Chain A
Amino acid sequence: MVAHVLRMCVFAAAVLQAQPPLPAPLARPVDFVGDVQPILRKRCSGCHGAAMQSSGLRLDDREATLRGGYSGAVIQKGDSAESKLIHRVAGLYGLQRMPPAGKPLSAEEIATLRAWIDQGAPWPDAVAKPAEAPRPAHWSFQPLRKPAPPPVRNAGWVRNPIDRFILARLEAEGVAPSPEADKATLLRRLSLDLTGLPPAPEEVSRFLADSRPDAYERAVGRLLASPHYGEKWARHWLDLARYADSDGYEKDWVRPWAWRYREWVIHALNQDMPFDRFTLYQLAGDLLPGAGLDAKIATGFHRNTLTNREGGVDNEQFRFENTVDRAATTGTVWMGLTFGCAQCHDHKYDPITQKDFYSLYAFFDNLEEVDIDAPYPGEIAPYERSRAEYEARRQALLDEYRVPELMAEWEKRILAAADNPGKWTDWDLAWDCVLKLTAGGDGAKILRKPPERRTPREWTILIDHFVRNYHFAVGKQKFEAARFPELDKKLAELRAAYPQLSQAMVVAEEETPRRTFLRIRGDYKTLGIEVGPAAPSFLKPLAAEGRPSRADLARWLTSRDHPLTARVTVNRAWQEFFGQGLVKTAEDFGTQGAKPSHPELLDWLAAEFIDQGWSFKQLHQMIVMSAAYRQSSAARPDLAERDPDNRLLARQARLRLSAESIRDSALAVSGLLNPSLGGRSVRPPQPKGVAELGYANSVKWEESTGAEQYRRGLYIHFQRTTPYPLLMNFDAPKSTVTQCRRQRSNSPLQALNLLNDPVFVEAAQAFARRVWAESPAAFESRMERAFRLALARPPKPEETARLRQYHATQKALLDREPQAVKALAFPAAADPWEAAAWTGVASVILNLDEFITRE
């Protein structure tokens, strides 16, 4: 029967061999202009001409034609039978026949092309170049100018130039802007937008009492200076950076030091690091002369890509996919273009060619993932003092468990297996595990290095791997006989007992530069032409001395005359303040994206952003100072038909808070919030069964204790395969790919989350306790305090009445349930029955639409 299979294979090969007959070349000399060019024009240049160059091939230009396409040359002068152009038009070797639609080329046409090639493919100078195609006219590729703010009739409404652009449009449409929101709403809006936290009631009353003309500006200044500003805006940037605390694929290992990058972002934003430097550090911090630790940690931006440690994974494939992601993410975040579409083919709508994509890819192709010591001040001295003792004790442990001896043998056999795949299947597996499961470094690289050339850090990585993974080579029995699980535990304890240096995940350049090739159809195994790092061909060129580096790319992106970076960046800021960008598709400024609602305003803001030294704080201040921003968010029935999406900006928008901000608000008003800044990720309580959905139950969720439980949402450990439920219920991104804007969904699971999640029940209890502590005992006083805490306003009489009714109902129900009183009343309440009813009231308030909305 196998013989049958073999026969079938032979047969299949025979099918491949049986090519359609190839017409013989014409016997006569052919004339390019008279014979050949008409065929190319009529049958080829629709897809391979001035307007479009499928697969990078152009057949209307002599130089380009002879150069060929992404797969290389298509014409072998003098040898038509070996020319890909002929293979294609004749449909040989199983390749798709060209042209793909319409009638195939006739035998005579093929014979003509063959003759032309065989005769040396002559192409007269006079027709060597076709008429040039016009440069793309799409708006976002045009140079950035700073338009003068337009004149308006109602100049009294204008607070800054932004308003002129908004009002001019409104006046042209005959629409009046909305009145300014009341002061309390404004302060709550400002606080939530700038810091992600609601204002304290005292801040509100101070603001209400402040009658100075610059009271609002002072409030803005105070909030911009708050350390929580960096947290709020870092979260926005982390969406773009696809930040997470775990690998993403399958085993989804925890990345214990990923947060160093998050902390860097928070600090950079709090210091108002100019966006050009912010860009340079993240894309190329490691390349800057004398790069400090900060600049290196910033490169963690490109360590947020996913890692696949599945056995049998081709590491080269995942290196390729990560590099693709780095290029595509850079294209989206800085240029607002869907570069990723050009991984496999030229972009269908935008002028991004596949070559452009791989030219951007080339900047990242030489990048190496490295983990480094990244000590905080004060860590080094104790570390160095204790090092000798620690090393001695560690070595003693390793000797005790015969590690040097067993490991030498292991190294020998594993390398032998690596060089003889298939010979020893158990050692094959052990080698594969070195490739996938080495933590903190490249195991294969270390193993291949002569032992005397390994650094101490490399030794540690390799020994730790050996101790943990020896069983893959020798089986569980021998592994346990060697008591390695016990040794692993002891090594961990020893590590914990001595000072260690904090780490960071960063990038570096590989020592030997890699050659970059375009990949045909985006398949990592199919190499096309070689490409170097370069700017996309439809934008201004990137000037650099020698081979352009990531630093050159960063500088090019943030050069004054780059048409996209500033536009894209200010648009995302606008989106955070108004709920949608001036360009609604923040992730797509290409031809398929939305047109800007206020193109001149967008340009003015972008130019002003650059003029102000790329300062985010200046940009944010300018936006929130505008009259446009300060408008009421109440619906405008008069515009419901005309402008249902509020593109004219005749009002502000009511926006549901982000997942993180909902949590932060509940913790803040209840007084539970731990406001400390930066640091490692935390794991608040999470129901059993959530983490267990991860691969083979390997995800562990060890709840944080004490005040750590009450840290802000952006510090919640993000496990990519099993994210924290609140984050998913309220539309936080899954953080596997870059995300430029969040959805704001509205679902029953959100209701269950806020009603019943123990975290929110605890918040309600604490909120009630706080209200009691901070207000006189009368129902109305407490109600007023509760509303001021949660909503920054006093309750309306009908609201108080309705809650009084609820309070009475709840008390009556509790009357019959002493157990419920015990469960709901906050500890040490003088009147537990009343306190339990107030926990109910507090929970109603924390569930109000208004509480989770910025108005």
Chain B
Amino acid sequence: MGEAILFTLFSLSAVAFALGMVFRRNAVHCALHLVGVLLSLSGMFVLLHAQFIAAIQILVYAGAIMVLFLFVVMLLNVKGETPLLTPGAAKGFGFFFAFIAFVELLWIVVSQGGTEGEPAPVPALPPNFGSPAEIGKILYTTWLFPFEVTSILLMIAVVGAVVLAKRKFA
């Protein structure tokens, strides 16, 4: 029962913050709304037995990535766009295609469910499901090679960011 209440709370706040993020004019407000979405999702991760993911969601996303965003927002000092949305037919097409995509996603969710009209039952999980120890065990055995490739990717990204930001353009 409590889980259902928390789920409703987190999902409503996530959707509300997401709408605020897309339709606010001030970029700093948008960034703070995105932090709200990330925190709500972190709460949902805890409900889904993903405690480690919830923790790094706050540390990496709400911490590191959003600070980077806010730095750039304040560095660029972008004036509020007028008009807010892209003008002309492109706006109509944008909403139209987003609506089509939503209907498709909805259709997939509805058609892939469990038995007729009933949501699939939630399986019982072992008590240590999603704990850092269990995550670490499969991350450093089954997924060791992708993990090492990720480190190379991050190094390339850092080098690329420095090169792009320091280059003098004519």
Chains A and B are bound partners: no
